[in-house]
Amino acid sequence: MAKYWPATTVAMLCVVAVTYLNVIVPLIIREVVDKVLVQNMYDQLAWLSLSIIVIAALRSVFSFTQRFTQQYIGQKVVFDLRNNLFKSLEEKSFSFYDQAQTGQLMSRVTSDVEQVRALLAWWLETLVSSVLTVGSVVLVISTIDPRLMLFYLATIPLVLVAAYNFSKRIRPRFALTREIFGDMTSVIQQTIVGTRVVRAFAQEEHEKKKFSVPHSRYLKTNLEIWRYRSMFMPFMAFTVSLGTALVYWYGGGEVIRGNMTIGSLVASAAYLAMLVMPVRFIGFLMTFYQQAITGAERIFEIMDAKPEVEDKPDAIELPPIQRGIVFKDVFFEYAPGARVLDRINLAVKMGETIALLGATGSGKSSLIQLIPRFYDVTEGSITIDGYDLRDVTLRSLRQQIGIVLQETFLFSASIRENIAYGRPDATMGDIEKVAKIAGAHDFIMSFPDKYDTKVGERGVTLSGGQRQRIAIARALLLNPRILIFDDSTSSVDVETEHEIQQALQILLKNRTTFIITQRVSTIKNATRIVVFENGAIVEEGSHEELLAKDGIYAKIYRTQFKEQEDILEAQAVQRRTK
């Protein structure tokens, strides 16, 4: 809030003004009772009434300014907080998202931030106003009769003990509701995203039951919270009433004995009424504070989490890649003790196409995710043109790498916007050029809106093959020095994949390319084939060299790839015949 100190100062001054005006009114009422009603000084009635009207008008102006300014501060602070939280999420490493639940993150960005806003929007008004009101009332009543105030203050220890016990019980339950709310959001998010799978396997009832578990816990915990609040607030009201009864009992006796005027007792009663709201606000403030502090802890838990992969303070810009990339004694594990890459040594020159082959879990995808520094190596080093990846800025590194991942993600936007995501300033000619290379232009032009066709969330309105071809075009538009294809043509048929590969051959010249694929045409055209097994490189060479070795690659080729090669040859014969 410090950056908004001018607005905070205005709000504080308005709080002081409103409190001061509120304190004056009972004194005027005392004059009305004692002078007009008791002493029959009717000439005083007009200006005393006018004073109350003027005070009410001034109080309205200051109250408006105070409330609007406080809301302004709350909205601006939360605006900054949400922006900082989103920025923090953008900077987090992949390892963070490997463990985090989407629902929990959504809950913190939305619901938890809103809890903080709810407190900031009125805590200053409530806290400062309550403190000033109590102080002013204590001072004024003490001038009337100090014993009146002592009777009322005798109930304060009960209020403090009740507030402490309420806070101790309510805070862990608020924390639990935030966690449960995040779990509920996760279930909803997964069910919506995976709705086709849910319907395909007729698991609607299962998902309902899965949602009902956290939902029931959420209901139970909220009822517990309201049980405590329902006990605390009446107790606070009873305590206030007890203090008021003691004051009337003592003050009434003093009026009867002639030691106090009726106007003074009425004014004291009015001041006591003014104390009711500050005392009751303690309960509201405790509730809002516990909710907000719980939300703030969850927010700063994310913001304070240090990214595992980030720029060094002295990181340099990576110059345009000229020579190639070298993996030296690379070890990698996602979690301590779970090694997925074991002493990888691989030197790739500029312009080479490297096909990575191996069973699922053999380490292929893990290797290519180290190149753009989605993760950092556990041991060893990866260098590009002699620069250790950890010594260059992430932006300058990733701007020279084009990636097409196996799980294709498209944004809920137009096809043109998706292709141009990495280069928003790209011309339509550039977009169409890469779309043709990726084999996407023809099907895009078949849509009524062509390149302006909107795709659904995650690109669900397109087929798997169409999404992959758009993703390939998106990567090609960057004109990267390094291209990475992680099984990126798995959703297209063999013939379409062959056409894409033919178009890519010219584009891949003078670029370093890593390809994970199960298609023989891609593997045969690669400069080198690198075979993985259990996280280690077990074979390396060209298609012919590895067949001659009659090792793992030859076995895989005979069992999996020969049939694909026969299909491609038959299709080639058909094309020549036509």
Instruction: Tell me the C-alpha distance between 380 and 69, whole Å.
Output: 56
Long-range CB contacts (< 8 A, 24+ apart) of 152-155? Answer: 152/243, 152/244, 152/246, 152/247, 152/272, 152/275, 153/243, 154/243, 154/246, 155/239, 155/240, 155/242, 155/243
Instruction: Tell me the C-alpha distance between 408 and 464, whole Å.
Output: 8
- Tell me how far CA of residue 278 lies from CA of 125, 140, 274, 444, in angstroms: 11, 16, 8, 66
Summary mean pLDDT of the chain: 80
Structure tokens at 446: 């078949």
Instruction: State residue 463's pLDDT score.
Output: 77
Helices (H), 438-550: 441-445, 464-477, 494-507, 520-525, 543-549
Domains 318-400+483-493+511-578 and 402-479 share a fold: yes
Residue 492 clears pLDDT 60, i.e. is over it: no
pLDDT (mean) for 367-388: 90
Rounded to 5°, angle at Cα 6 from 4 and 11: 95
Q: Which of 14-18, 122-126, 143-147, 253-257 has the highest mean pLDDT?
A: 14-18
Structure tokens at 399: 């701007």
Instruction: Tell me the C-alpha distance between 317 and 396, whole Å.
Output: 6
Evaluate whether 544 touches 389 at the Cβ level (below 8 Å): no
Which pLDDT tens digit goes with each residue over 276-293? 677 667 666 766 777 778
Residue 434 clears pLDDT 60, i.e. is over it: yes
Instruction: Tell me the C-alpha distance between 235 and 245, whole Å.
Output: 15
Instruction: Tell me the C-alpha distance between 7 and 4, whole Å.
Output: 6
Instruction: State residue 571's pLDDT score.
Output: 61
Cβ partners under 8 Å of residue 170, min gap 6 = 225, 228, 229, 286, 287, 290
Residue 327 clears pLDDT 90, i.e. is over it: yes
Whether this prediction's pTM lies above 0.75 is answered by no
The DSSP H or E segment spanning 331 is strand 324-333
Domain ranges of the chain: 79-303, 318-400+483-493+511-578, 402-479
- The side-by-side arrangement of strands in the sheet containing 387-388 is 339-349, 324-333, 379-384, 387-388
For 314-325, letters b (16+ CB in 10 Å) and e give: ebeebeebeebb
* Topology adopted by domain 79-303: ABC transporter transmembrane region fold (1.20.1560)
In the CATH scheme, what architecture does the domain 318-400+483-493+511-578 have? 3-Layer(aba) Sandwich (3.40)
Residue with tokens 């390319």: 513
Q: Could you tell me which CATH number the domain at 402-479 has?
A: 3.40.50.300
- The side-by-side arrangement of strands in the sheet containing 536-541 is 401-404, 482-486, 512-516, 353-358, 528-533, 536-541
**Which residue type, as a one-letter code, is found at position 281?**
F
Residue with tokens 């390809």: 515
Long-range CB contacts (< 8 A, 24+ apart) of 159-163? Answer: 159/236, 159/239, 159/279, 159/282, 162/232, 162/235, 162/236, 162/239, 163/232, 163/282, 163/283, 163/286
For residue 455, report the phi and psi dihedrals to the nearest 5 degrees: -100, 150
Pairing of strands 528-533, 536-541: antiparallel
Instruction: Tell me the C-alpha distance between 310 and 394, whole Å.
Output: 7
Instruction: Report the percent of the chain where pLDDT is more than 70.
Output: 85
Residue-by-residue DSSP string for 350-409: TT-EEEEEESTTSSHHHHHHHTTTSS--SEEEEEETTEEGGGB-HHHHHTTEEEE-SS--
Residue 525 clears pLDDT 80, i.e. is over it: no
- Nearest 10 degrees: CA dihedral of 125, 127, 131, 132? -10
Evaluate whether 332 touches 366 at the Cβ level (below 8 Å): yes
Residue 217 clears pLDDT 80, i.e. is over it: yes
Q: Residue 300, Cβ neighbours under 10 Å: how many?
A: 15
Structure tokens at 184: 């509920």
Burial class (CB in 10 A: 0-12, 13-18, 19+), 389: buried
Instruction: State residue 331's pLDDT score.
Output: 92
The secondary structure of 551-566, three-state, reads: CHHHHHHHHHHHHHHH
Instruction: State residue 428's pLDDT score.
Output: 92
Instruction: State residue 392's pLDDT score.
Output: 92
User: By mean pLDDT, which of 94-108, 300-314, 323-337, 537-551 is the weakest?
Assistant: 94-108
Helices (H), 121-155: 123-144, 146-153
Burial class (CB in 10 A: 0-12, 13-18, 19+), 332: buried
Residue 494 clears pLDDT 70, i.e. is over it: no
Cβ partners under 8 Å of residue 367, min gap 6 = 327, 330, 332, 341, 344, 356, 514, 532
Evaluate whether 37 touches 151 at the Cβ level (below 8 Å): no
The secondary structure of 431-448, three-state, reads: HHHHHHHCCCHHHHHCCC
Instruction: Tell me the C-alpha distance between 527 and 522, whole Å.
Output: 10
Long-range CB contacts (< 8 A, 24+ apart) of 277-280? Answer: 277/130, 277/133, 278/129, 278/130, 278/131, 278/133, 278/134, 279/159, 279/236, 279/239, 279/240, 280/233, 280/236, 280/237, 280/240
Which pLDDT tens digit goes with each residue over 222-257? 888 888 877 777 777 777 777 777 777 877 887 888
Which pLDDT tens digit goes with each residue over 544-566? 888 888 888 888 777 766 666 66
Instruction: State residue 328's pLDDT score.
Output: 92
